[in-house]
Amino acid sequence: AQNSILVTGGAGYIGSHTVRLLASQGRKVVVLDSLVFGHEGAIVDEGVELVVGEVGDRELVDRLFTEHKFDAVVHFAAFAYVGESVTDPLKYYRNNTAEPLTLLEVMQKHGCKTFVFSSTCATYGVPESVPIVESNPQDPINPYGRSKLMVEWILRDCDSAWGLKSACLRYFNASGSSADGKIGEDHDPETHLIPRVLMAITGEISHLDVFGTDYPTPDGTCIRDYIHVEDLASAHAKAIDHLAAGGDSVRCNLGTGVGVSVKQIIQAAEEVTGKEVPIKYGPRREGDPPQLLADPSYAKEKLGWEAQFKDVHDMVRSAWSWMSGPQKGRYEK
Binding site for ligand UDP (CB under 6 A): 173, 191-193, 196, 208-211, 222, 224, 262, 285, 288
Q: Which single residue brings its beta carbon nearest to ligand UDP?
A: 222
Residue 82 Cβ vs ligand UDP, minimum distance, rounded to whole Å: 7
State the minimum distance, in angstroms, from the CB of residue 57 to ligand UDP: 29
Q: How far is the CB of 257 from ligand UDP (least distance, A)?
A: 16
Among 13, 92, 124, 144, the one annotated catalytic: 144
Per the annotation, the verdict on 13 as an active-site residue is: no
Nearer to ligand UDP, 163 or 282 (CB): 282
Region for 217 from its dihedrals, namely left if φ exceeds 0, alpha if ψ lies in -120 to 50, beta otherwise: beta
Which is closer to ligand UDP, CB of 75 or CB of 224? 224
Query: Given the complex with ligand UDP, which of 57 and 185 has the nearer CB atom?
Result: 185
Q: What's the min distance (Å) between Cβ of 208 and ligand UDP?
A: 6
Residue whose CB is less far from ligand UDP, 292 or 303:
292
Q: Catalytic residue numbers?
A: 144
